Structure 1
Amino acid sequence: MAGRTMTGNTAVAGETATRPEPHGATRHAVFVQLNDPTGNSVLAYQRSGDGSLLEAGRYPTGGNGGAALQAPVDALASQGSLVYDQHHRMLYAVNAGSDTLTVFDVDGARLTRRQIIDSGGAFPVSIAAHGNLLYALNAGDDGTVQGFRITPDGLAPLPGSRRSLRLGNTNPPVFISAPAQIGISPDARHLVVTTKNHNAIDVFLLDSDGCPQGEPVVTATANPVPFSFAFTDQGIAVTEVVTSSVTHYQLHRDGTLTPLSSVADGQAALCWIQPLGGRLYGANAGSGTITAFDLSRDGGVALSGHDGGVVAQPGGAPIDMAASGDYLYVQNPVSGRLDGYHAARDGTLRQVATVTGLPVFADGNGMEGIAAS
């Protein structure tokens, strides 16, 4: 393994870490949300040109992390709880235990806390940003989506944007019944939510102001327990946990979805998905593996042609991922570890970094939420 193990060195919010930049350092960074229930914070790492990481600071969000009920390895049971907005150079974090969102200004690997704002519901777990529009997904109680305008001063609630998902959850929610991810389509016409054991994908049509038009269009999924998704040229590629599958759906203008292709990876608990280099990478928490998928122009999805699609075996329970350049970074909360890989053109992964010693909390859960620039 070519990576380095790094721990220690923290800085409070608004301060710059004192460590020098590593050899070949760039302005790129990787951000990891610790999701501490006694005080949430974000760790920032400088990402060098060879993919190695150097801790640059620890930044309190001003809120608390949270844990869904019965969550096996991933406390928030979601994807997209920490989001980097390249256009505005802002980082958005959920504080599930405080029902708030935190906005940071980003300067390389340095963060400055700008705002803490109510999420518009209970137990926020996922964020989507597009242009000057941001939506938060709240998983507690009935589940809600809440829209915001992104302004020079931070987030401003978007009047008329709040919608109930009518899921009938508790607060905090049971992880399997909590919605997992929210996303805004590239054309900003659709707001997409996956609902786990409700076995459906909700699509809200958005008007020119970014507000949902009425109730969502609900499509039953091809396989049980839809979790995370990534937008594609045709629509969305969705992980479906029970069959450890990726299904590619065409997203129609009216909000309906049509399955184009589906493939199982033969692993266990495929939950998270990340585009990189024209491929999709999936994290299998139940088998401790990373799988690569190829998409064809006609909408087909297939395992990449290497060892049945398995391109890395980090062990433990890999969850959320982020891409920076040609590098893929993977959280492993039960192991308190962050792994970095270089993605080759053929889809194979070569490990280039390992960070150990990240906190694991009393309930066995730890960090959740990762973003990169």
Structure 2
Amino acid sequence: MRLSLKASAAGVAALAAVATALLGGGAAQATTGSPAGSDPVGAVFVQTDGLAGNAIVAYDRNADGTLHWADTYPTGGLGLQLAGSAVDHLASQGSLARAGGSLFAVNAGSNTITSFAIRGDRLVRLQTTGSGGDAPVSIATHDRRVFVLNARGGGSIQGYLNVGGLLVKVPAWHRDLGLNPAATPQFVTTPGQIAFTPDGSKLIVTTKANTNAFDVFSTAGFGLSASPVVTTVPGTVPFGIQFDAAGHLVAVEAGPSAIATFTVNADGSLTQLAWAATGQAAACWVVVSGAYAYTSNAGSASLSGYRLGTVGSLTALGNTATDPGTVDAATAGGFLYVQTGATGTVDEFRMGADGSLTKVGSVLVPDAVGGEGIVAS
């Protein structure tokens, strides 16, 4: 299936003009800069998932890895707490995503997505648009394509074109996942993440305990296959995923609290390469940085480190304690930042050359108990 852009050319041009005007100045919601005397080298954005109003909290990232509050930006939408969840209200990975100078956030409680333009440590809210389904929980981006995963109602995915930071819905890029909408509890039976393969040719959805599977859609030719290739992994509850430098899929299996690596084959099927139990409780999220991967273990308040081999092998490096409720994580500049949903904090760690983690501090994120979604640069 190929997309024709001719019919929507005028609309795309109009949206691009709006984005250009907003980025030209005068539309920023706030202009708070870095604290006096700090040494900012990047920024970290954290989503609150606030039930009364979702927001993105921006932090300056200093050279020593510590974070300092810069400002807070309402998304114009609502957060959501899936039934049965405690420290992980969205029970997903990747609910906040960056594509160049754009930041995309899900508003699971109002079935919308908010687009921001990134200007250093500041954000300009550009748009809030419908997610095409019920309870958006994860976003994937590649080139000009953006896809959102809706968790409830049997699950669905919806695709958009990214036009200067504004999202243009493509009706042909909608697929229902056909999961059991009545399965309970929601936090382990709703789908967990959507992600592109590094080359953008495939789109992967984890279904967690609903079907214990990886659904892989082809996106070749700027289209979307009618149905996915399904690889079932019984009893594993596949949750968070990322890719290593060699293009292997690195997945966390919440059922056995384990990490596994896979080859994504040309036909969309998966072949397992390695598997390792973390020995921790509720391993659900994963972040990859260079030759290392770290799982977030919500039930043990810890991170488990692994060295990734060139053929997908896994070598355990040990566990590092965090604040309670370890969830979504991101890395930048040799540092790892992890949300801890029980306390609504972000813990800051320095990553050693050997993959070891040394805590350098933590920050409290207002109204973020149970929140998920973090991006670092």
TM-score normalised per structure 2: 0.89
SS of equivalent to 1:176: helix
The 5-angstrom pairing of residues 306-325 of structure 1 reads 309-310=318-319, 312-325=320-333
Residue correspondence of structure 1 range 148-163 to structure 2 within 5 A: 148-152=160-164, 154-163=166-175
Do structure 1's residue 294 and structure 2's residue 276 form an aligned pair? no
Offset, 1:335: 1.2
Task: Give how far 1:231 is off.
Answer: 1.4
**For residue 5 of structure 1, what is the aligned residue in structure 2?**
none
Note the alpha carbon deviations across 1:316-354, whole angstroms, 9 max, x for none. 111000111101001112112111111000111111221
Superposition deviation, residue 132 in structure 1: 0.8
Distance in 1 between residues matched to 2:224 and 2:248, nearest whole Å:
19
Query: Quick check: 1:128 aligned with 2:148?
Result: no
* 1:312-351 equivalence runs, <5 A: 312-351=320-359
Corresponding residue SS for 2:72: strand
Q: Counterpart in 2 of 1:103?
A: 115
Q: Would you say 1:242 and 2:255 are equivalent positions?
A: yes
Check the 8 A contact 1:222/1:247 in 2, yes or no.
Answer: no
> 1:99 and 1:171, CA in 2 relative to 1: closer, same or farther beyond 3 A?
farther
Give CA deviations for 1:45-97 in whole Å, capped at 9, x if unaligned.
Answer: 00011111110000000000011111132000000001122x2x011100000
- Spell out the pairing of 1:30-69 with structure 2 (5 A cutoff): 30-69=44-83
What amino acid does structure 2 have at the position aligned with 1:72? A
Q: Secondary structure at the match of 1:75?
A: coil
2-structure distance, mates of 1:235, 1:297: 9
- Which region of structure 1 is more displaced relative to structure 2, 214-223 or 98-107? 214-223
1:275-298 Cα shifts (integer Å, max 9, x gaps): 113200111101111111111122
Structure 1 unmatched ranges of 5 or more: 1-11
Please say if 1:201 is aligned against 2:214: yes
Q: CA deviation at 1:13?
A: 6.1
Do the aligned partners of residues 186 and 355 (structure 1) sit closer, same or farther apart at CA in structure 2, a change above 3 Å counting?
same
**2:151 aligns to what?**
139
Q: Percent identity?
A: 39
| Cα displacement (A) at 1:223 | 5.2
CA distance in 1, matches of 2:45, 2:275: 32
SS in structure 2 of the partner of residue 229 of structure 1: strand
**1:138 Cα offset (Å):** 0.3
CA-based RMSD of the aligned residues comes to 1.8
Provide the C-alpha distance between the structure 2 equivalents of 1:149 and 1:265, rounded to a whole number of angstroms.
Answer: 38
TM-fit CA distance, 1:173: 7.6
For 1:251, the aligned partner's letter is V
Q: Deviations over 1:344-373 (max 9, x none)?
A: 00111111221136335xxxx532111112
TM-score normalised per structure 1: 0.90
Q: Greater share of helix residues, 1 or 2?
A: 2
Residues 172-251 of structure 1 correspond to what in structure 2 (within 5 A)? 174-197=186-209, 198-209=211-222, 211-221=223-233, 224-232=236-244, 233-251=246-264
- The answer to whether structure 1 residue 15 and structure 2 residue 30 are counterparts is yes
Structure 2 stretches of 5 or more lacking a match? 1-26
